[in-house]
């Protein structure tokens, strides 16, 4: 259980780092006149993300699971997801946030990854991250029930983001 907890804590700290980057960028975007879209869904996604993480950890704790081959696969998947996350942050720079903000003169990223995967932050970061944390913790119930619920919110978020960006 200790290895699972330490691995979980490491990735959770990386998620907090991304939160701080997002907050810094949000403040700048707001000063520039950016408008937030899908505020309520962003709130629900935040609650769901935190709940999913801690439901996974609770499952690991309550079943006293040891780090195993599923955990190793989850760790590898999370490592991939976080590499993608920080690559996306690097490419989007000051317009990357956890929320959907559209600024005046908003630029659209058209580099290789963004051309081949329409929403790399969602499909190559968030979904693999959630599957990874579920596998890390052997959280089968969280994967079975939490992932579909989160995916529904994510689908709504993608529609909202597409609608917000349609006029760019």
Measure the CA–CA gap between 147 and 16, rounded to whole angstroms.
21
Measure the CA–CA gap between 95 and 91, rounded to whole angstroms.
9
Tell me the pLDDT band of 15, cut-offs 50, 70 and 90: very high
In this model, does residue 131 exceed pLDDT 90?
yes
> What mean pLDDT, rounded, does the chain reach?
96
Q: Contact 122/128 with Cβ under 8 angstroms? A: no
Q: What percent of the chain has pLDDT over 90?
A: 95
Tell me the pLDDT band of 167, cut-offs 50, 70 and 90: confident
What pLDDT does residue 63 have?
96
List of domains in the chain: 2-165 (1.20.120.1630)
Kindly state the helix (H) or strand (E) to which residue 58 belongs, with its residue range. helix 39-63
What pLDDT does residue 168 have?
73
Measure the CA–CA gap between 81 and 124, rounded to whole angstroms.
6
Question: pLDDT tens-digit profile of 61-78?
Answer: 999 999 999 999 999 999
What pLDDT does residue 43 have?
97
What pLDDT does residue 122 have?
97
In this model, does residue 56 exceed pLDDT 90?
yes
Tell me the pLDDT band of 14, cut-offs 50, 70 and 90: very high
What pLDDT does residue 39 have?
97
Tell me the pLDDT band of 1, cut-offs 50, 70 and 90: confident
Residue labelled with tokens 């006293």? 64
Kindly state the helix (H) or strand (E) to which residue 37 belongs, with its residue range. strand 35-37
What pLDDT does residue 84 have?
98
35: left (phi over 0), alpha (psi -120 to 50) or beta: beta
């Amino acid at each position: 259980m200790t290895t699972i907890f330490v691995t979980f804590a490491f990735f959770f700290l990386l998620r907090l780092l991304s939160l701080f980057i997002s907050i810094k960028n949000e403040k700048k975007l707001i000063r520039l006149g950016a408008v937030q879209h899908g505020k309520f869904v962003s709130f629900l996604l935040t609650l769901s993300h935190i709940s999913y993480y801690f439901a996974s950890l609770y499952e690991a704790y309550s079943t006293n699971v040891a780090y195993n081959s599923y955990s190793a696969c989850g760790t590898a998947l999370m490592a991939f997801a976080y590499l993608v996350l920080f690559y996306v942050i690097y490419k989007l720079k000051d317009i990357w946030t956890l929320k959907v903000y559209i600024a005046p003169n908003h630029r659209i990223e058209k580099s290789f990854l963004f051309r081949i995967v329409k929403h790399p932050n969602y499909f190559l970061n968030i979904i693999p991250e959630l599957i990874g944390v579920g596998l890390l913790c052997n959280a089968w119930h969280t994967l079975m029930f939490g992932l579909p619920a989160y995916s529904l919110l994510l689908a709504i978020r993608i529609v909202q983001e597409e609608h917000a960006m349609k006029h760019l």
